[in-house]
Amino acid sequence: MSTGELVLFHSTFLPPFVQYSVVPAKASSKNKPHLNLPIPGLSSGKLMHDFGVSQNCTVIIDCPISLDPFNLRHNLSAIQYDPNGPTRLGVFPRHSPENIKWFDTGASIVMHTANTWDESTPSGTRVHILLCRMNSLAPLYHMGGMEAPKSVCPDNPQCRLYYYQINPESAIAQQWALSSIPFEFPHVPRHLEMTAARYIYGCSMREGNFASQFMESVKIDCLAKIDAKRFLEIGQRTPPVCPEGSVDKRTMQEILCSEDPEDPIQVFALPDGWYAQECSFVPRKDGKSEDDGWLVTYVFDESQLNEEGEAKADSRSELWIIDAVGMKEVVAKVFLPQRVPYGMHGNWFAENQILNQRDFTGFRL
């Protein structure tokens, strides 16, 4: 984050269930770490994967997903999802989790947040958060290489880029989806995090959905660039009906047919049989616009699979470098010596970040 701090949380099976830490870039008498601070207001172990951090606030996401390993003694899943329970957003000043305030919204599952930022208004501070909101527990099964049971999958699986505007003193003021297309593994350029960044990049697909019951329906063959600023302006003037409403109601096929160069959703569609992974944005030095740069992602050609659908021993992935302005051109390809399995996360680190890492004094085995 721009402050140089490392902000993290961890979940446990015992009270207080979630603990929170802030580690400064350089510790001093005025800049002390805050370690293992309890998050108040949680009544059970929770499955949490991500959270939001703005310049001044932290947003903890308490989805109705309990995590209890003792269920295994009764041949029950350790993870239980309550589709009728609320999702709660907990907002607090970054260094003061004891001042958390919880706000209820409809049941959902959130694996990844995209961006969080503050806005000062005459009536007080507003906190904005963009995240990927799902209505299905299926991705947790897919991570384990399993098809999801029908009981955790709705008939209309959704995983969309979703917006919440929160007044930390009173309520969730607005909530709705920016688009109807499947959208996961979101990415905001690192130098624009915690600001009202215009573009959100992420993974999508022509068919299927990240929240689908079947693993074969989760193949990333599209990278999408969503003009969040434009959709937020439209949605704040005329908010869609929540929780199902979205500003842009088009399908991926309809977007791919668009010939509008100013379309607020630009899509890079991979060739048939090729599939991508999470992307990262690399800014051009002295770029002329926010999107002046490249997307980098691992891709794989499934013609290298054998008759059983397994990767051959000599299978190879590629790293593609894609022009982020037009979202059409692959400007370079790096041929890798082996296959990179699906599901790998990636990030981009500039040379100065690598050179300026803090020296370590020791490590534990």
Q: What residues form the annotated binding site?
A: 49, 112, 345
Q: Which phi-psi region, left, alpha or beta, contains residue 41 (left: φ > 0; alpha: ψ -120 to 50)?
A: left
Annotated binding site for Fe cation: 49, 112, 345
- CA separation for the pair 78, 153 (Å, rounded): 17
- CA separation for the pair 66, 68 (Å, rounded): 6
Complete DSSP assignment for 51-97 = -EE-SSEEEEEE-SEEE-GGGGGGT--SEEE-TTSPEEEEEEETT-G
E strand segments, 84-243: 87-93, 101-105, 109-121, 124-134, 159-167, 171-179, 184-187, 199-204, 222-227
Omega before 157 within 30 of 0, i.e. cis: no
- Determine phi and psi for 351, rounding to 5 degrees: -60, -40
Q: Which H or E element spans position 139?
A: helix 138-143
292: its two tokens:
């002046």
Is-contact 135 211, C-beta < 8 A?
yes
Complete DSSP assignment for 256-284 = HT---TT-SEEEEEPPTTEEE---EEEEP
Placement of tokens 């929770």 in the chain: 46
* Rg, C-alpha atoms of the chain: 21
- Burial group, residue 342, by CB count within 10 angstroms (0-12, 13-18, 19+): middle
Q: Is 210 helix (H, G, I), strand (E, B) or coil?
A: coil
